[in-house]
Structure 1
Amino acid sequence: MTRTAISVDHIARVEGHGNVHLSIKDGAVETCEMNVVEPARLFESMVVGRKFADVPYIASRVCGICSASHVITDILAIERIFGVEVTDRTRALRELLVYGSYLQNHASHLFVFAAPDFLDMASVFPLAKANPELFDQALGLKSLGNQLCNLVGGRSIHPITAVVGGFTHEPTRDEYLAMADKLDAEREFARAVVDLFNGFTVPDIATQGDMMAMVAEGRYPVADSRWARFLDAGVTFDADRACEQVEEYEVPHSAALFARCRQTGKTYFTGALARINASWGALSQEAKVAAAKAGLRPPERNPFLNNVAQAVEVLDALGRCADLCRKLAEPDGPFEGGSAPVPFEVRAGVGTGFTEAPRGTVFHQLELDDAGRVVHATIMTPTAQNCANLEADMRVLAEKLIADGAEAPEVRAEVEKLVRAYDPCFSCSVH
């Protein structure tokens, strides 16, 4: 009998702290564990007793990168309870704000965290030396995401202008047009990024879990649909039923809750790859061509290609946001109503907000009393939902590599790459 232990303590180039432990006995994977070792952060308890207006800006601190998504998700939950209907213009601004965080996150993940894996580099710093032009372009893309969040949200992280019912400030016509030009200028680089990541060799595996994403007929939704779908199960549900459809459960080796589809018992993946599988037809023509050229089209189940999916989303977001900015700049544009907060009445109730954060679906369920104070809160972050599926995919990958004759160092290296391809935020997973 031969036994090999493979341990990765504090996986590098991810947000937060996570460990991987594999035990291989006689050429077979005996145990495979994704250990999230972050302490509990207690945001769900932190907001109890707070007034509704404070909650989005507390919850945004769950994540510095996805802060815009957490703000908008909480606002949507509150509006669900109060029965608030916002204008088309407010919806467009929210989409711009969320997409700003996509540009921030995807540029950081692709070049700082993921690219070194495929260039035989230990970190991004050798890349900066070896190809300073590429590195500067990547930083410029991330900076553009910061600028978009700052323009719409008032700050590059933890935005302050988005409130229940609308926005407290809106950019000027000239600011919209200047931003549109900047977004368009990045599209050539974004096409090159898709080609770059498509050129990297990855193991040929397929996730055994389901996928889940926001869906809307004829659109690529990120912040304005109530509907989520488990793609394999064919289960589509309103966000208010998220806690009925998603089963969170404890495992002894992780501080984060794991998740699975309650109806099927299957783990699932959420993120860019799931979104492209769910809404391929609604991608821009430019993004669809780039994705097809990269061989990325539904059904695609290789989790390593989440990197390529993020690159495709960057290209899609640049064109989409440039178009939105130009339409918002038109005096008689297509978006009805203003962006100033609409009037509403505070009342008790339960509601769930739902957006597609850069890393995947995020749900916030709030219960408010008659004074608009939080009685109970539940948050489901993308990484917490992904942990169980990541663990299952690590086992699939390890079994394939071992069957192909790989030694322990190669197994370890490829498993680390897989973890990073998921773009996890272990700090957010313990929220």
Structure 2
Amino acid sequence: MTRTAIHVDHIARVEGHGNVRVVIEDGIVKTVEMNVVEPARLFESMVRGRRFEEVPYIASRICGICSASHVVTDLLAIERVFGVEPTDRTRALRDLLVYGSYLQNHATHLFVFAAPDFLGMPSVFPLAETDPELFERALALKALGNELCTKVGGRSVHPITAVVGGFTHEIAAGEYRALADKMDEAREFAIRAVDLFRDFPVPAIETAGDMLAMVEEGAYPVAASRRARFLKAGAEFDADEASERIEEHAVPHSAALFARVRETGRPYFTGALARANASWRHLGQNAKVAAAKAGLRPPEGNPFMNNVAQAVELVDALDRCAALCRRLAEPDAFEGASAPVAFEVQAGRATGFTEAPRGALFHEIALDAEGRVEHASILTPTAQNCENLEADMRILAERLVADGAERDDVQLEIEKLVRAYDPCLSCSVH
């Protein structure tokens, strides 16, 4: 018997710690495991008994990149419990916060984590020598995301100005216009990034499971809708039904719970590729042209194309942020102010829902009559993706083995697949 074992202890260039184990016997792939080895984070336990005002700031500490998304998602859940209707201006500012985290995350993932895979480099640092312009402009794009989050949220991470019912502070009109100009200046490089990732060769595989994304008629939503859709199953549901539609379960080889569609038992993928498939028609014009040139059109099921989808979203985010900033600079462009609206604390349970950079994010919260947390559950994108990633790793390994690939090539392509998912393994454990 010929036996090949692939053990990757600590996948490089991803957030958090995870291992991969693959066993091949006589040309047959026997074992494929994605081992998340992070300890329990216990954020849901930390917020129990706390007042509602504290919850968004605690939950934002789950992730340094997606902190804005965690804050906004918690606020949406709390506001649903209290019956709060934020103004259009507040909604626009929240979109800006989420898009700021897209710029932060996608620029980091694409150029620091993913690009070295396709350029034959062990890390991003040799890129500073071989292509200093690409390196510097990639860092500048990440810095622009930091600046946007700082101006809107008060900090580049863990925003402090977003509160229940509105914002405690806003920048001046001139600062909005300056941000819009910077977004316009960055667009050309973002379009080049789509072309760059389009040209990288990837294995031709189809994801094993379904896809999940936020949907809204006539929009490419990131925080404005409560509707989620499993794209292949065609099943749509309200965010409050997330725990009924999504089943989490334990597996012996991972500290993270795996997730699947409760009705079908199938795993699923959430992230930029799922969003592009769900709402491709509603991308901005520049992003849609870039996506079409890159061959990204629905239905696209190759998980490696998540890299291209993120690059397309950079173009889309820059255009949307420029437009939003220019509108916010006009005094009467939005109905209502961003100052927090009045509300009454009451008991109840609700789920907040946003599209974080890495995919669908759900926060379920139950509050008592004094506004203290009785129950909390946080379902992050990577927690939802782990089972589908493992299934896709098997598909990829079987394809490569059937094609006669050498052991080292199998290992490299599996690592590239893991990075294409853009996992945050630290965030995947409850």
- Measured in 2, the distance between the counterparts of 1:150 and 1:268 equals 34
Residue 280 (str. 1) matches residue 280 (str. 2): yes
Counterpart amino acid of residue 364 in structure 1:
H
Counterpart amino acid of residue 36 in structure 2:
V
In structure 2, the partner of 1:418 is: 417
Tell me by how many angstroms 1:430 deviates. Answer: 1.0
Tell me by how many angstroms 1:77 deviates. Answer: 0.5
- In structure 2, the residue corresponding to 1:224 is in which secondary structure? coil
- In structure 2, the residue corresponding to 1:242 is in which secondary structure? helix
1:37-71 C-alpha deviation (Å, 9 max, x unpaired):
00001001110000000000000000000000000
1:353-386 C-alpha deviation (Å, 9 max, x unpaired):
0000000000000000010000010000000000
Tell me by how many angstroms 1:129 deviates. Answer: 1.2
Tell me by how many angstroms 1:3 deviates. Answer: 1.3
In structure 1, the partner of 2:91 is: 91
- Measured in 1, the distance between the counterparts of 2:145 and 2:28 equals 44
Residue 323 (str. 1) matches residue 323 (str. 2): yes
Counterpart amino acid of residue 231 in structure 2:
L
Residue 129 (str. 1) matches residue 135 (str. 2): no
Gaps spanning 5+ residues in structure 2: where?
A: none
Residue 62 (str. 1) matches residue 56 (str. 2): no
In structure 1, the partner of 2:179 is: 179
- Measured in 2, the distance between the counterparts of 1:231 and 1:331 equals 39
Q: How does 1:23-422 map to 2 (within 5 A)?
A: 23-333=23-333, 335-422=334-421
In structure 2, the partner of 1:18 is: 18
Tell me by how many angstroms 1:136 deviates. Answer: 0.3
Tell me by how many angstroms 1:224 deviates. Answer: 1.0
Counterpart amino acid of residue 275 in structure 1:
R
Counterpart amino acid of residue 406 in structure 1:
A
Tell me by how many angstroms 1:332 deviates. Answer: 2.2
- Measured in 2, the distance between the counterparts of 1:311 and 1:16 equals 22
Tell me by how many angstroms 1:95 deviates. Answer: 0.1
Tell me by how many angstroms 1:208 deviates. Answer: 1.6
- Measured in 2, the distance between the counterparts of 1:41 and 1:265 equals 27
Counterpart amino acid of residue 373 in structure 1:
R
- Measured in 2, the distance between the counterparts of 1:345 and 1:273 equals 39
Counterpart amino acid of residue 393 in structure 1:
D
In structure 1, the partner of 2:7 is: 7
Identity over aligned residues, as a percent? 75
- In structure 1, the residue corresponding to 2:364 is in which secondary structure? strand
Counterpart amino acid of residue 386 in structure 1:
N
Counterpart amino acid of residue 326 in structure 2:
R
Gaps spanning 5+ residues in structure 1: where?
A: none
- Measured in 2, the distance between the counterparts of 1:257 and 1:406 equals 32
- Measured in 1, the distance between the counterparts of 2:349 and 2:317 equals 32
- Measured in 2, the distance between the counterparts of 1:110 and 1:426 equals 17
In structure 1, the partner of 2:426 is: 427
1:309-365 C-alpha deviation (Å, 9 max, x unpaired):
0000000000011000001111221x1000000000000000100000000000000
Tell me by how many angstroms 1:18 deviates. Answer: 0.2
- Measured in 2, the distance between the counterparts of 1:273 and 1:356 equals 12
Tell me by how many angstroms 1:238 deviates. Answer: 0.3
- Measured in 2, the distance between the counterparts of 1:346 and 1:235 equals 34
- In structure 1, the residue corresponding to 2:274 is in which secondary structure? helix
Tell me by how many angstroms 1:407 deviates. Answer: 1.2
Counterpart amino acid of residue 257 in structure 1:
L
- Measured in 1, the distance between the counterparts of 2:360 and 2:63 equals 14
TM-score, length basis structure 1 = 0.99
1:5-56 C-alpha deviation (Å, 9 max, x unpaired):
1111100000000000001111111010000000001001110000000000
Counterpart amino acid of residue 391 in structure 2:
A
Would you say how many aligned residue pairs link Structure 1 and Structure 2?
430
Counterpart amino acid of residue 212 in structure 1:
L
Counterpart amino acid of residue 73 in structure 2:
T
TM-score, length basis structure 2 = 1.00
- Measured in 1, the distance between the counterparts of 2:28 and 2:110 equals 32
1:100-149 C-alpha deviation (Å, 9 max, x unpaired):
00000000000000000000000001111111111000000000000000
Between stretches 125-134 and 237-246, larger displacement belongs to: 125-134
**4+ residue runs of structure 1 moved beyond 2 angstroms?**
none
- In structure 2, the residue corresponding to 1:414 is in which secondary structure? helix
- Measured in 2, the distance between the counterparts of 1:400 and 1:52 equals 50
- Measured in 1, the distance between the counterparts of 2:86 and 2:375 equals 25
Tell me by how many angstroms 1:419 deviates. Answer: 0.2
- Measured in 2, the distance between the counterparts of 1:29 and 1:81 equals 49
In angstroms, what is the RMSD of aligned CA positions? 0.5
- Measured in 1, the distance between the counterparts of 2:125 and 2:284 equals 34
- In structure 2, the residue corresponding to 1:259 is in which secondary structure? strand
Counterpart amino acid of residue 68 in structure 2:
A
1:254-290 C-alpha deviation (Å, 9 max, x unpaired):
0000000111111000000000000001100110000
Counterpart amino acid of residue 189 in structure 1:
F
Counterpart amino acid of residue 115 in structure 2:
A
